[in-house]
Amino acid sequence: MSSVFQRRRQKLLALKAMHSVSASVHPHSSEVCKNCGGEVPHRDLVAAGYVCPLCGYHHPIGAYYRLSQILDRGSFRELDEELASADPLDFPGYRQKLEKAQAKTGMNEGVVTALGRIGGMKVAVGVLDNRFFMGSMSAALGEKVTRLVEQAAKSRLPLILFSASGGARMQEGILSLMQMAKTSAALERFSRRGGLYISVLTHPTTGGVTASFASLGDIMLAEPGALIGFAGPRVIEQTIGQELPEGFQSAEYLLEHGFLDAVVPRSQMRETLIRLLKLHGKAGANRDG
């Protein structure tokens, strides 16, 4: 089964995935958990998929690393990798910042879109990466998501999007805002054609991404403890003039308020997706070779 090409694709994804997590860390060193402050040997953290073994905190992970955890080996085929922002408003300092982010992450934009297989089932999948401008919505990010949705519609594939975003890309102004309409319109069309869309919210998902494609899934999942909201906590505190309750806007809070189907730990994400794809059978998945 495993062709030369599949092996090569797997190798490429593995390389990118390595770049996609803290690249500078020494393999024998320890890391301090951002959440509980506990010291965790690096290899234990890696073995747990960057979930703290002490407190269960799900550290944000890069898009390629996420894909390497979710997809069948050798099935990753990246789409529109070359798409990048053209600095449409000629915004002071934006170009330099983009170049820096590109150099740091090895990505051209804040989302990776791909075709691949999960449990043998073909899917269209996108993962936002918050190391790139906090996964904020640029026109290029909106375009990549929209193309993925359209590709899923055309090839009759189920669609899975992992969101992680700080909201709008300020440097692209109103064009950033318009991506909310563009992506939502594409998803509505996809939905009316019977397409299955599984939306997975990861830490943090806020602003325009929450108020567009991330909230439109047929199935809504989130990672434990993920911050999910429209307005940011600081803005809300300023508005209401009081501190927010513990756990406000967490994945568990959203589950309780009726906006999620399930909170799924990272270690169970792949098998949960396989189960959901199977449950939708031919309606969602396309099993052809």
Partner 1 sequence: MAEYTAAERVALARNTARPGVVDYVQGLFTDFFEQKGDRLCGEDPSIFGGIGLFHGRPVTVIGHRKGKDLEERMACRFGMPNPEGYRKAGRLMDQAEKFGRPVITFIDTPGAYPGLEAEARGQGEAIARMLAKMSALTVPTIAIVTGEGGSGGALALGVGNRVLMLENAVYSVLSPEGFAAILWKDASRSDEACEVMKLTAADLLELGVIDRVIPEPVGGAHTDVAAMVRTLDRVLQEELAGLSRMSGHALFTGRYEKFRAMGAKALRKERT
Q: List contacts with partner 1 (CB under 8 A).
A: 81-89, 91-92, 102, 108, 138-140, 142-143, 146, 168, 170-182, 184-189, 191-192, 207-208, 210-216, 228-232, 235-236, 239-240, 244, 248-249, 253, 257-259
Nearer to partner 1, 71 or 227 (CB): 227
Q: How far is the CB of 215 from partner 1 (least distance, A)?
A: 4
Q: How far is the CB of 184 from partner 1 (least distance, A)?
A: 4
First to last CA, the chain: 12
Nearer to partner 1, 117 or 182 (CB): 182
| Three-state DSSP class for residue 9 | helix
Q: How far is the CB of 166 from partner 1 (least distance, A)?
A: 9
Q: How far is the CB of 43 from partner 1 (least distance, A)?
A: 31
Nearer to partner 1, 5 or 248 (CB): 248
Q: Are strands 159-165 and 121-128 parallel, antiparallel or unpaired?
A: parallel
Nearer to partner 1, 243 or 288 (CB): 243
Q: How far is the CB of 6 from partner 1 (least distance, A)?
A: 20
Q: How far is the CB of 260 from partner 1 (least distance, A)?
A: 10
Bridge-partner residues for 121, per DSSP?
Answer: 118
The contacts of residue 4 (CB under 8 Å, 6+ apart) are none
Q: How far is the CB of 21 from partner 1 (least distance, A)?
A: 21
Cis peptide before 53 (omega within 30 of 0): no
Which two tokens mark 85? 């922002």
Q: How far is the CB of 84 from partner 1 (least distance, A)?
A: 4
Helix axes 173-192, 139-154, angle to 10 degrees: 10
Nearer to partner 1, 209 or 277 (CB): 209
Is residue 126 a contact partner of residue 113, using CB atoms and an 8 Å limit?
yes
Identity of residue 284: G
Count CB neighbours of 138 within 10 A.
29
CA distances from 8 to 25, 62, 170, 189 (A): 26, 21, 38, 35
Nearer to partner 1, 8 or 287 (CB): 8
Nearer to partner 1, 51 or 202 (CB): 202
Which residue in 212, 185, 182, 180 sits closest to 199, CA to CA?
212
Phi-psi region of 190 (alpha: psi -120 to 50; beta: other; left: phi over 0): alpha
Nearer to partner 1, 50 or 213 (CB): 213
Is residue 226 a contact partner of residue 250, using CB atoms and an 8 Å limit?
yes
